[in-house]
Amino acid sequence: MTTTSLLLDTSIASRLCHPAKEANQPIAEWFERLLVENGRSVRVFLPEIVDYEVRRGLVHVALKSGRSTTRSLLRLDRLGETLDYLPLDTRTMRKAAGLWAEARNSGLPTAAPEALDGDAILAAQALLVGGLVVTENVRHLERFVRAYRWADVPLES
């Protein structure tokens, strides 16, 4: 049996942190089915760069608006505990630097020149684990790595 490695992008992880929102219910249901029906044939990663991007957004909302984001942060923590957490390391950052430079050199950057470029870092992590990225931003990520909208993820049943 072949195992498919999936890495969640920020857009997907963020939506999973707000499953009660009507717009997020289809993806939350898909995710639950994915884990139940494909538990042995799929490995789902929460990349550290994604955790950082979602977490900083939630903390910023709380600080700016005074609204509590505690439940969403707890859901993010649970994702990190339930899924395979993929930490950043030197190898990833060096690979990401190369991807960033190649994209910039080809005239197709995914971020401003001064930006860290989370897409390049996420793509590097996906390449290093041989995974594909589940995203809502296929256009940016497919420059580097196999990337699919959540509903289009190819899985062997």
Query: In this structure, is residue 156 part of a structural domain?
Result: no
33 Rama class: left (phi>0) / alpha (psi -120 to 50) / beta? alpha
Domain membership flag for residue 157: no
- pLDDT for res 26: 95
CATH number at residue 125: 3.40.50.1010
Amino acid at 82: T
Is 136 a domain residue? yes
The confidence score (pLDDT) of residue 157 equals 52
Q: What pTM value is reported for the model?
A: 0.91
Mean pLDDT of all residues in 39-66: 93
Average pLDDT (22-46) is 91
pLDDT in tens, 75-106: 999 999 999 999 999 999 999 999 999 988 98
At 110, is the pLDDT very low, low, confident or very high (cuts 50, 70, 90)? confident
Q: Are 140 and 110 in contact (CB under 8 A)?
A: yes
Mean pLDDT of all residues in 23-51 = 92
Mean pLDDT of 34-59: 92
Mean pLDDT, the chain, integer: 92
Let me know if residue 101 belongs to a domain: yes
Average of per-residue pLDDT across 119-141 = 94
Query: What is the pLDDT, as a whole number, of residue 57?
Result: 95
- pLDDT mean over 52-72: 93
Give me the number of domains the chain comprises.
Answer: 1
| Burial class for 63, CB neighbours closer than 10 Å (0-12, 13-18, 19+) | exposed
Closest CA to 128 of 112, 140, 109, 145: 145
Q: Is the pLDDT of residue 156 over 70?
A: no
Domain that holds residue 136: 4-151
